[in-house]
Amino acid sequence: MGDEKIVMTPTKRGKSTAIRLEKIKKSNIDLNQVHHSGGGAHSRLVVNKMAKIEDGGEECAELSMEFRCFLVNKKTSEHICEKRVLYFWFRENSDHEQKICGARDFFLELINPDDFPGDYPHFIKKAMKLLEKSDQYYAVLRVEVEMTPVSPEISAQTPFEEDNRPRDVIVQEQLLSEIERHFPNCVDINKLLEVTNEDHDMVISQLQQLIDKKLIKRLDDEGNKYIRNLLYDKSVREMKQMPVQQGIKKPSIAIITSSFFEKMAIDSMMSDKTTFVKFKQEGDGNVYTIGSIGKHRVVSTKLPIVGRDRSALISSGNSTTRLLGTFSDVEHVILLGICGGVPDYVDYRKHVRLGDIIVSVPNSKGISYIFADKVERSADNIMKFSLKSWNAKDLVVSELSESLQTVLNDLKSNTLEDYMGEAAEELGTLQNAHSFSRPQDSSDILYMRPDKDKLIRIEHPKIPEDANIKQKTPIVRLGCLASGRPFEESILRSDFAIRHQVIGFDPPLFDQVMESVVGNCKDSFIFIRGVSDYEDGANQKSVWKHYAALSAAAFARILIENLSNL
């Protein structure tokens, strides 16, 4: 490396500008083509004159990555879109893992929001300085950046746009979402006014429409408290005290969800079911659905309040303790719902897509679930996390999940799709608020936001010609899950995921739930998640969240059906 320089050669290809960056030995540099040689800290950088390069990177590159930059002109507020493609070549004898890691790390460091280049010169300079890193990118021999302006029509279709639907439609959606979030607790009218930030008459009008649709109901004559209706379940019983379950009717498996639609999804997988609801105008209510999956009796519940404030943390822990105390014969606990997937920008085989299923199994460190309470940046710019972790002592469910992964990911297997199709059809006939059908693949879009004025859309990795992988259907993936308050930034999540072998992120809600599960001596537990976004599963606007919840529920059904009798 000591006798190599980083040579940049610009060229034009039609409407595209291409920048070739390559490592060339000093003795092989054509001095007649050199426009500028750097000095001092940049003495290894060389800029060539504009040249005509016939071959495009896409013709012979070993790896490529495509992304789009959505920029905002601060003076005119105009949205500008540009497509950029990175092509990579590597040294001879570089193995597949070196190539994948080199390209992925180069890309993530190039778009790091801490020093994201705001213009062409700084973008190219940063790319050259990265290629100069002999220890980290030794295997990368050449990088080509192709930049192409995107038409104004496409530039206008950016995610910067606001929701332009009629205000009453948006308010009604917000109201239902908030009421579902609190279920089985009721919601006070003052809370609903605060959430929507609308006048009293508008909120009352939209609440009445939800009542007319039988999606919610009032709990008092004054119209101050509202709760969600369970239209999808015809066997609902309101209770003051949970009836005693005896003999073979006692549930041996508990399923914990945090969202109303997650509970809808898993309940649709049960037969012979009854839902018991305890409504309380003050304090936490309870909802338990007891039914059968295969030969097993199961009980599902929904946490009444989710969030990081003290009352929500106490509530989620208490609800879990109450569940496991009420159903003391439970031996397996399944934490079911949605999460954010960790994308792999280069390797299609490791790339998590929306709708995929993530099952928590131990990583190489023996950890299946990690919670990060806080993060600190050291003086030498190293991120240090305060972590808690859990792993089940009884691995029977994890081991069964591993064997099911091979079966369900086989191209000939349709069990997941069949179960999901049946449940989606059933749910569609029983309620009219949510659709559990698979969204259009065009809505599965990867975004990364370096700052508020820049957005990067990243294309999914190309499918290898020899890929024997299902498409347009959920893939079962096994690995470690993580959650925590620090993971709001894309780069921070990516860095943590690489360091801790994480393939999915939860919102920071489940540490108290896990403390309760372990505290109640439940040695067999597992997380089953459907991927609804590429963050932490908390994006309420994701059109994939219902489908993702259903995919997780379908896997849970298959897992339970294959468990040996307890």
Give the range with max mean pLDDT: 224-228, 351-355, 534-538. Answer: 351-355
Share of the chain above pLDDT 90, in %: 42
**What domains, with CATH codes, occur in the chain?**
4-67+81-150 (no CATH), 162-229 (1.10.10.10), 286-561 (3.40.50.1580)
Q: Name residue, tokens 């969600």.
A: 228
Rg over alpha carbons for the chain, rounded to the nearest Å, is 27
At a CB cut-off of 8 Å and minimum separation 6, what does 181 contact?
A: 259, 260, 305, 306
**Pairing, β 476-484 against β 369-377:** parallel
Q: What is the mean pLDDT of residues 327-350?
A: 92
Q: Average pLDDT over the chain, rounded to whole?
A: 85
* 379 has a pLDDT exceeding 70: no
**Distances in whole angstroms, Cα of residue 512 to Cα of each of 312, 373, 410:** 10, 12, 37
Cβ–Cβ < 8 Å for 388, 546: no
Specify whether the backbone of 32 is left (phi greater than 0), alpha (psi in -120 to 50) or beta: alpha
pLDDT tens digits for range 272-303: 999 988 876 566 778 999 999 999 999 999 99
Q: What is the mean pLDDT of residues 2-24?
A: 89
- pTM reported for the whole predicted model: 0.86
* 516 has a pLDDT exceeding 90: yes
